[in-house]
Amino acid sequence: MMYDDIAHNKLLVSRNPYPGKLFNRPHGDDLYQGLKIDYRKSSVNHENFLNILKGNATGVKGGNGRVIESNPNDRIFVYFTDHGAVGVIAFPEGMLTAKQLNTALNWMHENDRYNQLVFYLESCESGSMFEKVLKSTINEQYERVKRLTNLSHVMHFGNLLIAEEPVGWFQGQRKTHQKETTDEELHAVFSWPSRDVELMYLHQLKDEIDDIFVAKELRREIRKIHQVH
């Protein structure tokens, strides 16, 4: 499930030297090549998300209809990143509340849809989705992410006994190319609160752009963000 508005973004086409490609670090690998997206654009919504988790194929709309067909022996790994606020996380189409998410996870537990489940949530106020909510929810990775994260609080909740289990049991056994991070790379040249990243990026892009039509569109996007806040 991915909105898929970056690699082929029309607004940035004049400044994108790598159309159809996606990177998460300078000189990194193209992450878009070979990427399989089951749900994109308007099908990225909270109703589909919950139905995918619960394995309800008849409840999803759009996309290719794939859901998690799990059983009591399975380990499930969920990674979610988007905007958020206290008690809610955002989708391009609608919001998901802590109560709705908790209800779905409890339903999965009561209906034997997994043996163990790990949920990584990256958004503003993400801790409020689980704090004092889950009745009971890996440790090297948690500590590393906590150490490398700036201007945010990394937290974990639930049944932490599974924190000693191998990450690969949940995220897959395939070998990955892991590049060691240098001290220079860890040094934050610019740090902004995550909720302001989009706004600061648009301001920076507007100041650097030479195309007056793109600059006009960027100013419109900036005004939209200010109106929301």
Q: Which residues are catalytic?
A: 83
Residue length of the chain:
229
Dist. CA 50–CA 121, nearest whole Å: 15
Task: Please work out, in degrees rounded to the nearest 5, the angle formed at the alpha carbon of residue 163 by the alpha carbons of 107 and 74.
Answer: 45
Tokens coding 48: 């589909």
Contact 192, 200 (CB under 8 A): yes
Cα torsion angle, 166, 170, 172, 175, sign: negative
Contact 121, 89 (CB under 8 A): yes
Residue 94 sits at φ, ψ, to 5 deg, of 90, -175
Tokens coding 204: 């920076």
Residue among 8, 60, 25 at smallest CA distance from 39: 60
Residue among 53, 28, 18 at smallest CA distance from 39: 53
**H/E segment holding residue 81:** strand 75-81
**H/E segment holding residue 212:** helix 212-228
Dist. CA 170–CA 58, nearest whole Å: 26
